Structure 1
Amino acid sequence: MGTPYPNPVTPTRTRIGWIGTGVMGAAMAGRLLAAGYSLTVFSRTQSKTLPLQSQGAKLASSPLELAQLSDVVFTMVGHPSDVRSVVLGPTGVLSGLNPNSVTVDMTSSHPTLAREIFTSAREKNCWSVDAPVSGGDVGAREGKLAILAGGDAGVVNWLSPLFEVMGKMTYLGRAGSGQSCKIANQITVGANLVGLSEGLVFAERAGLDLKQFVDAIRGGAAGSMVMELYGERMIGRDFEAGGFTEYMVKDLGMGVDVVEEEEGDGKVVVLPGAALSKHLFSAMVANGDGKLGTQGLITVIERLNGKMNESCQ
């Protein structure tokens, strides 16, 4: 069992570092500040840290400096390449992390990279946890994220007070398990968004009132968290990003294209539905809408049906 520190995690004892202050990361870090934890932040775009600094966060000049000032470092960045750079790079988190400290990657990233980081951390007498999240911007603001954790069970349990500030944590198993769970989550979410988009387009063509349609089916088998989060936004043409569409393409790609290496054997999972979802989200990116929310997928279905005048703007 992992034992990063003999003392429990508390606001008075545990110093937090946070890298990545986008829509999700800023809200999650803000909740830790509000819970009384001291916070040091780093972002490649320093202006994005100003709201957190106004709440009392300190600013670090590099991931290395941030790690030196922290007991637990969270990363919430964009792509696996960003994770590799800020964690494993020459001025990355692991180059400055103190012995027995922990780095927690909450980015949707690759299971293989998570295992590589875990191995590198242990070589430095540190720990790593992969803990991507689901729940969008609403879940981040309200502290209702689903947190999918992989790594050493003892370390994950030690981190529980921090996870509880941000949402509900589920321990999935060894390093990389959290990332594998997030990929499976995104496959499911993508399919839900395709179905909801097509249902709305069909209902509109049939002459139904869309709000009435959603209210009528939300309590039945078609109801889902995706519908609760995005149904009214899609009807109201609100495509502001809680999670960027280009990130959904990245996540689905890790599922469709991934080759898991187990005991030397490459195993490819055939996922025709996920491949279709990736194709449709990629079409949204090709339309110039990659920085908008995934609920904007409805515009791709509309375009396929000849409706061109209400695409994402």
Structure 2
Amino acid sequence: MTEQASKKEKVVGFIGTGIMGASMAGHLLNGGCTVHVYNRTKSRADALMSKGAIWQDTPKAVAEQCEVIITMLGYPTDVEEVYFGAAGLIENAKANAVLIDMTTSSPSLAKRIALEAANKGLAALDAPVSGGDIGAKEARLSIMVGGEERFFQAILPLLTLMGKNIVHQGAAGAGQFTKMCNQIAIATNMIGVSEALAYAKKAGLSQEKVLKSIETGAAGSWSLSNLGPRIINGDFSPGFYVKHFMKDIKIAIESAEELELPLPGLALARSLYEQVIAIGEENSGTQALYKVLSVD
């Protein structure tokens, strides 16, 4: 990796311009990067292209043009499709390119990407994020990074364009393991947030006043402060899709089983989110859990 890799003004590929990816790629543009984009639905990249992003028709074309390629995809299967095979990023990336997967995916897949990238003389980092659509829009994501320290340090200036709390967690896969810790904490916390607001309403209280009292005390959390108001306002639009959160829960449970660690709270969250999906809310935000825990 060259000295240029430590500079912000560089040629960056961004694959996956959804709810969060579009904002993240926009910050790279604003930071002076030349950004090449690809998304399965091209129209989701229109706003970025209007700001100067360069469209590429395939992930392979992105790889051939860029020294850093960032992916922000939906599922581990999407990651596998984009990274591997004759048309994948690893096979077609430029010499000394840096591959950064910011998708929430499995730790074992992150390790595989790092190994195969190293065999091709490429750098790879797993760097999942937390903060939802708000954190993405405001460039204050928490970014959890796994991979070699030298690669992390070289690419840190780029990451600071998208996030504020950026921590190198360890070797390849460590970023994804850390994100699973994050999702485990969120899953059970969302149960508490939803039940508390349902209880407040059933007790005849003003949910707004209850939230004002409890969000700055010991019960305070990001979900309570940011998703609590959405629940109260009946806003179940996605900052993070239920279907993607369920994917994360399943990854965490599978990983925990490999570690021989029981997670009863997470198992309960999975069963409740299965109910959310059963009532047709898979494309809603994670706060839609309230709908199966309330009597509204």
Cα distance in 1 for partners of 2:203, 2:152 equals 50
State the match for 1:152 in structure 2: 148
Deviation string, structure 1 residues 7-27 (Cα, Å, up to 9, x no partner): 353344x21000001000001
CA distance in 2, matches of 1:215, 1:300: 24
Indicate if the aligned counterparts of 1:17 and 1:73 stay in contact, CA closer than 8 A: yes
Q: Matches of 1:129 and 1:223 in 2, distance apart?
A: 32
TM superposition shift of 1:49: 1.1
Aligned equivalent of 2:280: 288
- The yes-or-no answer on 1:46 pairing with 2:33 is no
* TM-score of the two chains, using structure 2 as the length reference: 0.97
Contact 2:243 2:282 in 1 (8 A): yes
Of stretches 285-294 and 109-118 in structure 1, the one that deviates more from structure 2 is 285-294
Residue of structure 2 equivalent to 1:272: 264
Kindly state the Cα deviation for residue 146 of structure 1 after the two structures are TM-superposed.
0.3
Identity of aligned residues (%): 38
Per-residue CA distance 1:56-104 (angstroms, 9 max, x = gap): 0111111111011101100000000000001113211112111211110
Other-structure match for 1:96 = 92
Matched, 1:218 2:215: yes
**Residue aligned with 1:186, SS:** helix
Aligned to 1:201: 198
The alignment's TM-score, normalised by the length of structure 1, stands at 0.92
Q: Distance in 2 between matches of 1:42 and 1:34?
A: 18
Instruction: Provide structure 2 residue ranges, at least 5 long, that are not aligned to the other structure.
Output: none
CA deviations on 1:191-244 (whole Å, 9 max, x unpaired) are 111000000011111111000000011121101111111110110011110110
Moved over 4 A (4+): none
**Matched residue type, 2:159:** F
Preserved CA contact (<8 Å) 2:12 2:69: yes
Query: In structure 2, which of residues 227, 231, 238 is the aligned counterpart of residue 241 of structure 1?
Result: 238
- CA shift for structure 1 position 6: 2.5
- Does structure 2 retain, via aligned residues, the 8 Å contact 1:18–1:29? yes
Q: Deviations over 1:245-287 (max 9, x none)?
A: 0111111111112267xxxxx5322000001011111211111
Are the equivalent residues in 2 in contact too, given 1:186–1:251 (CA < 8 A)? yes
Give the 3-state SS of the residue equivalent to 1:288 in structure 2.
coil
C-alpha distance in 1 between matches for 2:202 and 2:266: 26
Q: Which moved more, 1:130-139 or 1:161-170?
A: 161-170
Gap change, CA 1:259 and 1:11, over 3 Å in 2: closer
CA RMSD of aligned residues (A): 1.2
Query: Could you tell me which residue of structure 1 aligns to residue 14 of structure 2?
Result: 18
* C-alpha contact (below 8 Å) 2:8/2:157 kept by paired residues: no
Q: For residues 93 and 256 of structure 2, what CA distance do their matches in structure 1 show?
A: 31
Pairs aligned (count): 295
- State the Cα deviation string for residues 162-216 of structure 1 (Å, max 9, x = none): 1111112111000000001111100101111100000001111111100000001
